[in-house]
Amino acid sequence: MRIHEIELIHFRNHTHTKVVWAPYINVLIGPNGAGKTSIVDAIHYLCMSRSFVTNSDTHVVKQDTKSFLLRGHFQGQIRAQFQLALSYSRGEGKKIFVNEGPLDRLSDLIGMVPMVVLSPQDEQLTKGGPVERRLFIDAFISQLSRSYLRNLMEYRQVRRQRNKLLQMYAEGRSFRVDKVLMRNYLEPWDEQLVRIGAKIMDKRVSVIDELERLVQFNFTEISGLEMQLGMRYDAMVTRWDGNTEAKAVSDEESENKEADSPTALTRVERIEKCFKEALDEQFDKELERGQSLVGPHRDEIVFYLDEVELRRYGSQGQHRLFALALKLGQLDYYSKELEDAPLLVLDDVFGDLDGERVRILLEHLKAHQGQSFITAAHPVAFSDFVDFDDPNHMCITIKDGNVAETK
DSSP one-letter string for 45-75: HHHHSS-SS-S-SGGGBPTT-SEEEEEEEEE
What pLDDT score does 350 carry? 87
Nearest-angstrom CA–CA distance, 182 and 284? 11
Residue 247: pLDDT over 90: no
List CB contacts of 303: < 8 A, sequence separation 6 or more: 126, 229, 230, 231, 309, 310, 311, 322
Nearest-angstrom CA–CA distance, 261 and 65? 66
What pLDDT score does 243 carry? 34
Tell me the pLDDT band of 253, cut-offs 50, 70 and 90.
Answer: very low
What pLDDT score does 263 carry? 57
Nearest-angstrom CA–CA distance, 44 and 199? 28
State mean pLDDT over 126-137.
96
How many residues are given for the chain? Answer: 407
| Weakest-pLDDT range from 55-59, 142-146, 329-333 | 55-59
Q: What percent of the chain has pLDDT over 90?
A: 73
Do residues 138 and 208 make contact, with C-beta atoms less than 8 angstroms apart?
no
**pTM of this structure:** 0.90
The residue that leads in pLDDT, 78 or 156, is: 156
Tell me the pLDDT band of 94, cut-offs 50, 70 and 90.
Answer: very high
State mean pLDDT over 320-328.
95
CATH number of 2-114+343-406: 3.40.50.300
What pLDDT score does 7 carry? 97
Nearest-angstrom CA–CA distance, 167 and 278? 19
List CB contacts of 47: < 8 A, sequence separation 6 or more: 84, 109, 112, 113, 114, 115, 343
Nearest-angstrom CA–CA distance, 55 and 148? 23
Domain ranges of the chain: 2-114+343-406, 132-301
What pLDDT score does 173 carry? 60
Q: What percent of the chain has pLDDT over 70?
A: 92
Tell me the pLDDT band of 356, cut-offs 50, 70 and 90.
Answer: confident
132-301 CATH fold = Glutathione S-transferase Yfyf (Class Pi); Chain A, domain 2 (1.20.1050)
The residue that leads in pLDDT, 80 or 78, is: 80
What pLDDT score does 235 carry? 87
Long-range contacts of the stretch 103-106 (C-beta < 8 A, 24+): 106/49
What pLDDT score does 237 carry? 72
What average pLDDT does the chain have? 89
The residue that leads in pLDDT, 252 or 168, is: 168
List CB contacts of 385: < 8 A, sequence separation 6 or more: 362, 363, 365, 366
What pLDDT score does 238 carry? 62
State mean pLDDT over 359-378.
89
